[in-house]
Structure 1
Amino acid sequence: MDWNDFAAPIWLSVQIALVSSILVFGLATAAARGMARAKFFGKPVLETVLLLPLVLSPTVIGFVLLVALGRRSWIGQAYEWLVGQPIVFSWIAAVIASVVVAFPLAYRTIKTGLEEVDGELQEAARAYGANEWQVFRWITAPLASRSLVTGYVLGFARSLGEFGATLMIAGNIPHRTQTIPTAIYIAVDSGNMSLAWAWAGVTVLLSFLMLLIISRKQCP
């Protein structure tokens, strides 16, 4: 195997993790802001739905996504009509799988941090005429910065290691949808343990760096 074939899953995994972690961070932050202090009928049910992918098997998640976004679904048909290619077995499918799997982990982390912010400070800022964006930018985000950073990093790390859902909906197409986890699976299945170890080592290194960022952020 040449260098390009070895590096392709690594570069693809990093790309998918970067894009999906940004999407996860935005969605999780918005959902956490809405749920942190809100009180409404059915909140426990909605909270359970948001956290459900955290306890579901990635294979089950991938199957549900395959049915929801496949070529027989109206979403899949509409996307294929607009873009000219199906969602499944594409780079976008890998991103979607990573977003769904990583979202609840980031959401729970960020929501915990937002709930710890003093609500009186936020109300005082609103009383002085600050809009919701200004309250979040100048009050909430700085006070919950540790949770926000941790949520983003955990979303990135979870996206980087996603396997089951990605394999179900995106497949294992070299240079297109083959990520590090799926590449390791194929290498082990074919008996190429040295190659599997090399990819595994890269994953461990990247994950270690992500956890190091969290540790440095949480240490005073």
Structure 2
Amino acid sequence: MSWEDWSETVRCYYAMITQIDHSFGIISDKLKECGMYDDTLVIYTSDHGDMCGSHGMIDKHYIMYDDVLRIPMIMSYPKLFKNNSVDYRRCDTFVYNALDIPATICEICKIERNPDCHGRSLLSILKGEKPNKEQFPDYTVSASNGQQFGSFTQRSIRTDKYKYIWNLTDIDEFYNLQTDPYELENLIYDSSYTDIISDLRKLLKKELARCFDPFVKSGWLNRTLEENIKL
């Protein structure tokens, strides 16, 4: 499809984002007007992105590209987060579980939460403390169970340099994000990355087991992640 074919879709998508930003600004301005802004925890995030023409695709299904997975996570609470004259902080620590949000809210508000609840509070990294690697490792894991498209079940693991994607019914994917940030060249069969792919597969298996992922019991997944065998 040409740009002319995509332009209206992209224009509408950006217009909706602009509308959301404008509406958010109205709320923010009202909080400041009422003197409540500095004592209000604001969380700005999303459940997913949209391909919006990238890779010639639209929507969010059966894909693990950053266009869909890399979502905003902005938190503002001037009363707690402000650091001298700097009232913002960028954090490059991987955060990939929406369950971390209620855990964070509970800690900030000093609310005791049920010990059975999953999720890790983000308060320490929001305050600029050095991330605990056990709680916040140098990778992020994503899962899609093909709710609308059952045969397109996927699991992925991403570091700051690479991304590996396990596909249930298709070839796997591997991208070098340093040289290919837009994920255009699948290097899964490139022998120069064999060891890296193997390491990522093992790490993905370990993380899926930790999270009690049902596919860990599948010989199909285990053959791929443990033995590097893809049927």
Identify which of structures 1 and 2 has the higher relative contact order when contacts are C-alpha pairs closer than 8 Å and 6+ apart. Answer: 1
TM-score (norm 1): 0.28
Q: Which has a greater percent of helix?
A: 1
Q: Which has a greater percent of strand?
A: 2
